[in-house]
């Protein structure tokens, strides 16, 4: 890669002929022209108005905007983008460049998966959450009124550019939300993350995710560990009455998962305390919002998409984090009491 960026970290997601590199570092967005796929003549840059970052693909490029907000993650926006691309004459040999947070990379990745039966895309995630999670691993898709991410495809990007420079202007809540996902990696083999600076930490998180995705691209099993802390987080988000961002809800969910694991004798009190230290070390919440009662939460756990054949939770142990089924209801309730 020729670029002005100082020594970016490069992490490979090893998926055979669909392998790709994730470049992490200050200024790596300026490397875009060197990672666009060979043979692409034009670039459709898909972004949101509030993103505000310009990228230069080195190709003839058109900017297509989707509306701000999570509501843009819907089929109507996918149709709009496909029609605009068709009117503008984009073909399968061109490239999409997704510039934005998780909404943009999920929608643009899905458009790339379905437009002309599939074209290449490069992601330039501009949020911490996007850089350590959403933009890596090829999960693309949109929400339906019936639930989140119900329509989508596994469609891997051609390259990902995680520019740490753009994080400097993220609103503090958005940064904290990303830190909730970052906190998760401390328990997925990222014990040494504390000692790293932000770019190194993002690269280390990406490396952990890349290894998991390479082992189980389509979430037949192991990839579920990337949902560590997410069962309670999704329940809190679905209840919808609380001003918690995704990563903040994940932070509470991580501590909850630790309490469940302790109640099942899988980990000891020191390990639970370590979960609390990591989460609070990022300035994230570790307690349940008041007014969410246990019965409502248990009902919401049952609706989580990982609830197959009884409730499955991703839980810690001396062997590491793994999906566990079933988790007794009494344990779920005991652990809820512990985080109130």
CA distances 52 to 32, 48, 143, 170, Å, are 17, 8, 24, 11
In the range 217-246, which residues lie near ligand GLY by CB under 6 A? 223, 226-227
Task: Output the smallest distance, CB 16 to ligand GLY, in A.
Answer: 19
Pairing outcome for strands 147-154 and 139-144: antiparallel
User: Please, is 214 exposed, middle or buried when counting C-beta atoms within 10 Å of its C-beta (0-12, 13-18, 19+)?
Assistant: middle
Structure tokens at 237: 């988000």
DSSP 3-state of 71: helix
Nearest CB to ligand GLY, comparing residues 32 and 212: 212
In the range 138-167, which residues lie near ligand GLY by CB under 6 A? 139
Task: Output the smallest distance, CB 223 to ligand GLY, in A.
Answer: 5
Nearest CB to ligand GLY, comparing residues 130 and 263: 130
Does position 254 interact with ligand GLY (CB under 6 A)? The reply is: no
Compute how many residues bind ligand GLY; rule: CB under 6 A: 6
Whole-number Å distance between alpha carbons of 223 and 202? 19
Task: Output the smallest distance, CB 41 to ligand GLY, in A.
Answer: 31
DSSP 3-state of 313: strand
Does position 190 interact with ligand GLY (CB under 6 A)? The reply is: no
Task: Give the residue among 2, 6, 33 at the shortest CA–CA distance from 164.
Answer: 6
Nearest CB to ligand GLY, comparing residues 277 and 305: 305
Does position 133 interact with ligand GLY (CB under 6 A)? The reply is: yes
Does position 25 interact with ligand GLY (CB under 6 A)? The reply is: no
Whole-number Å distance between alpha carbons of 134 and 247? 12
Using CB positions, name the residue nearest to ligand GLY. Answer: 226
Residues known to be catalytic: 117, 139, 181, 209, 219, 223, 227, 230, 234, 246
Q: Which residues bind ligand GLY (CB under 6 A)?
A: 133, 137, 139, 223, 226-227
């Amino acid at each position: 890669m020729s670029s002005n960026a100082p020594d970016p970290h490069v992490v490979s997601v090893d998926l055979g002929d669909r392998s790709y590199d994730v470049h992490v570092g200050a200024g790596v967005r300026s490397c875009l022209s060197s990672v666009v796929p060979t043979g692409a003549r034009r670039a459709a840059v898909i972004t949101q108005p509030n993103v505000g970052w310009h990228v230069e693909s080195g190709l003839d490029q058109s900017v297509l905007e989707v509306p701000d907000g999570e509501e843009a993650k819907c089929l109507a926006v996918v149709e709009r983008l496909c029609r605009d691309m068709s009117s503008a004459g984009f073909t399968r040999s061109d490239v999409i460049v997704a510039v934005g947070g998780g909404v943009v990379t999920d929608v643009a990745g899905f458009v790339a998966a379905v437009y002309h039966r599939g074209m290449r895309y490069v992601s330039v995630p501009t949020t911490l959450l996007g850089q350590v999670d959403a933009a890596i691993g090829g999960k693309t898709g949109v929400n339906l009124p019936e639930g989140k991410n119900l329509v989508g495809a596994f469609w891997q990007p051609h390259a990902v550019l995680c520019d740490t420079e753009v994080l400097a202007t993220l609103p503090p809540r958005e940064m904290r939300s990303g830190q909730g996902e970052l906190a998760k990696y401390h328990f997925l083999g990222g014990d040494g993350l504390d000692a790293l600076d932000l770019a190194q930490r993002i690269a280390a998180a990406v490396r952990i995710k890349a290894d998991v995705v390479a082992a189980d691209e389509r979430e037949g099993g192991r990839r579920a560990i990337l949902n560590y802390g997410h069962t309670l987080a999704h329940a809190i988000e679905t209840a919808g009455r609380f001003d918690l961002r995704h990563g903040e809800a994940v932070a509470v969910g991580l501590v909850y998962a630790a309490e469940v694991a302790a109640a099942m004798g899988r980990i000891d009190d020191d390990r639970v305390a370590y979960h609390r230290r990591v989460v609070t070390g990022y300035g994230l919440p570790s307690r349940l919002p008041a007014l969410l009662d246990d019965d409502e939460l248990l009902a919401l756990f049952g609706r989580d998409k990982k609830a197959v054949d009884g409730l499955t939770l991703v839980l810690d142990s001396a062997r590491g984090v793994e999906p566990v089924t079933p988790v007794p209801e009494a344990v779920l309730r005991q652990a809820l009491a512990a985080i109130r």
